[in-house]
Amino acid sequence: MKISGPYALFTDPMSKANGEKFTYQVPTAQALQGIVEAVYWKPTLRYVVDEVKVLKPIQTETKNILVPMMNGDKDLSYYTYLKDVAYAVKFHFEWAHRLDMAKDRNEKKHEQILLRSMKRGGRHDIFLGTRECIGEVERLRASEYEGLTTPFSGKMSFGIMFHSFSYQERMKKGGLAGTLYSQFAPIVMEDGVITFIRPEECRIRHELHDYHVKEFTEDMYMPVDEQWNLYDEEGGMADESASGAASDV
């Protein structure tokens, strides 16, 4: 999948003090996961971002932002954004650790609806790190991904960066309760490509708080079979053959 936009702000948590926000130089795995979820998501699915290819030079731009305050006044803050961004993303989905969604596990139909949604540019607005940074998505086949060029060569380290939130790896097996963690990892780009480790492989973790996931009953969501039928009625499902799907990223 290709992601692009005029601006992006993947906030470095270390820069939030004193009313300032400074972007990471590259997107985080969590931010990319959120973009994929805006294209198509159900509680049945868990997306894993495998790698991202940076397609344009890294440029930043600082803007003066008036931020509303509790007393009605406005405070001047400085936000540093990435400018003119484009990325190609490889990802896949797995089944979420949710026994209440087991009946909704139809790999082919979820895959086809996802591909259809990518082709349409997503089911929801695409935000590149923050709401004011609107982006676009395009469907890519594997051959198109490999053919995309990057302006970077060699190895570049970005140090320790925020990787993701862990909702599921600490979840009690078969349950809906667990502990939420923020996770960090060293990020290295090689020839314009960042390969992400899996969330459960992150060794730097900070415990945030306990949580409980909402349980879904069958009357609370549309089964994938019904979603499939709706997409099929709108036309175009025949274009998303299983063999073609296998070559998408």
- 39-97, pLDDT tens digit by residue? 999 889 999 999 999 999 999 999 987 777 777 777 778 899 999 999 999 999 999 88
Predicted confidence at residue 141, as pLDDT, reads 92
The per-residue pLDDT for 17 is: 65
pLDDT at 243: 43
pTM: 0.85
Residue-wise DSSP of the chain: -EEEEEEE--B-GGG-GGG-EEB-SS--HHHHHHHHHHHS--TTEEEEEEEEEE-S---EEEEEEEEE-TTS-EEEEEEEEEEEEEEEEEEEEEE-S-GGGGGG--HHHHHHHHHHHHHHT-SS-EESSSTTSEEEEE--BHHHHHH---S--SEEEEEEEEEEEESSTTSPTTSSEEEEEEEEEEEEEETTEEEPPPGGG--EEEEEEEEEPPP--GGGS--HHHHHHHHHHHS-GGGS-HHHHTTB-
What pLDDT does residue 20 have?
A: 83
Predicted pLDDT of residue 15: 75
CB 228 within 8 A of CB 238: no
Q: If you classify domain 2-242 with CATH, what class do you get? A: alpha beta
Q: Which residues of the chain have pLDDT under 50?
A: 170, 236-246
pLDDT score of 239 = 45
> What span, in angstroms and rounded, lies between the C-alpha atoms of 143 and 244?
11
The predicted structure's pLDDT at residue 240: 46
